[in-house]
Structure 1
Amino acid sequence: MQSHARGHLVYAASGVLAVHTERGTSIVPANRVAWTPAGFTHYHRAHGDTDMRIVFLAPSIARLIPEHPAVFLASGLAREVLLALTGPRNHDPAAPDYSRSARSRLLRVLVDELREAHEQPLHLPEPRDDRLQAIARMLHERPADNATLAELGKTIGASTRTLSRLFRNELGMTFYEWRTQLRIYHALVLLADGHDTTQTAYACGWANPSSFIAAFTNIVGTTPGRYRTSRRTTARASQLPTVLKSPD
């Protein structure tokens, strides 16, 4: 666990990242950008062959993007700026470094691109209530569990009405919406580890691959098959090493 005086962007050039904060987990598949504001305690976890890039933002420019953790789709321009800001020019003594003014201009372009992008529904909020936490632990351990909310409530000693109210008031979504988000997170991890669409669908609790494909496409914006193909393509196109820029 760590926190920084500056907010930072984490980019998955390939692979899948998870950014964990006290607010929940941001799921960051390839070509997404996760934003963690200054002061948020967090940790990162990589799944599969992941190329992670980090860019810190000064408060003067960070104020232009949300004050809460968020995930954005990286446009083609945003992707190239992120790769440029974390490429060889930043660590290879033989390569000419960007001037301060050039780097500032690139950062402004990057932030402008993110401001134009819609937040992705890839943030899984973390429950605070003990009863919701118990349900979350069970479903993280067994994402394929198709128990109803009533059945889960019997296990932990809470009524369906109480749990439904807690999900809406605390997490801003229904139980079924939250469980779908959780399953998509696990699906992204399995796809990153090389599992195919059918294996992933059943492992994450879908009755058949077609219903999984529909849910995955609705949240991630592309089919699991195309997503796996884009991961391989992006990984081949991005061969630069990871660079962690100091926030201080």
Structure 2
Amino acid sequence: MRVQEKPPSSDQAGPQTVDRLWLSEETPRPVTVLHQSFLNGARTRWHSHRRIELLHASGGLLLLHTEIGTWTVPSGYALLVPADLPHELAAYGCCEMRAAFFTDEALGDAVPRSCRVIAVSELLDVSLRALASGPLLYDLGSRGGHLAALIVDEIREASEIQIALPMPQTPPLRKLARDMIQKPALAHDLDGWAEQTGVSRSTFTRRFRGETGLSFAEWRRRLRMLHTLTLQANGVPLRQAAVTAGYRNANALRDMMRRTLTTTVLPPSPELDR
């Protein structure tokens, strides 16, 4: 793992910072899986890996930040990170995770070109735990090798969810996005946001979609949903999370999250029914 300077675009801070996670990622095996303790609220410094990485927490929420966006990994999901991609990782409400590393040859045509959040089947979960509990230098022709092959097969078959928060790249829109990440409840209308960036409403909406792939309204809904999931992972009640995320009340937040969670095939949150 290569530790790097933190890029100036990072928007969030955490109470604990880890120089690196102790991971033997480059063992002479095509697939390596390790258990890793990660305290609630901790985050790594900016770094990258020479191999493809898969991150899967036992509970809570993982947040991975890159220069181009943020990926949120709820319980029951995992994140595939391309090799050599600078990122930082933060954990909320979780204390144990598994980090798996793959050679390009191991994943073949499943090699990720960008970060991907995938569903973790029971079989993938069990296989990751089992391989992490065995020796690093497992016998390729025995149980370890079979588990590694099963992990790769399950990753190939896993469904993907689209809940990334892409960041715009031009300075005015990037500054606006940073401000909203810091304060999701900011409630200007489109004309107000356009005026803040010094362009017309139509230019603002066209540029925002062009740089993020999302309409501004969809991007803001996704930001507020991810902010809410993070607060919930930290034990914040839904009513309080609703106000912090910019909603009038918990019912409005429930409606938005139900629509969003349905379209992204995330499992419903038990908090939504309280």
Above 0.5 in TM-score? yes
Structure 1 position 133, deviation (Å):
0.6
Q: Give 1:171's match in structure 2, choosing from 212, 226, 231.
A: 212
Q: Indicate the SS of the match to 1:28.
A: strand
Per the normalisation by structure 2, the TM-score is 0.74
For 2:260 and 2:106, the matched residues in 1 are separated by 29
Map residues 1-248 of structure 1 onto 2, 5 A cutoff.
1-65=46-110, 66-87=112-133, 89-90=134-135, 98-101=138-141, 102-220=143-261, 221-225=266-270
Percent of residue pairs identical: 31
Tell me, which stretches of 5 or more residues in structure 2 are unaligned? 1-45
Q: Indicate the SS of the match to 2:48.
A: coil
CA gap of 1:153–1:61, structure 2 versus 1, over 3 A, is same
Per the normalisation by structure 1, the TM-score is 0.81
Contact 1:11–1:82 (Cα < 8 Å) also in 2: no
* Higher relative contact order, chain-length normalized (CA < 8 Å, sep 6+): 1
For 1:176 and 1:192, the matched residues in 2 are separated by 24
The count of corresponding residues between Structure 1 and Structure 2 is 223
CA gap of 1:179–1:50, structure 2 versus 1, over 3 A, is farther
Structure-2 residue corresponding to 1:235: none
CA gap of 1:206–1:28, structure 2 versus 1, over 3 A, is same
For 2:94 and 2:50, the matched residues in 1 are separated by 29
For 2:272 and 2:152, the matched residues in 1 are separated by 25
CA gap of 1:105–1:218, structure 2 versus 1, over 3 A, is farther
- Cα RMSD between the aligned structures? 2.3
CA gap of 1:125–1:103, structure 2 versus 1, over 3 A, is farther
CA gap of 1:161–1:192, structure 2 versus 1, over 3 A, is same
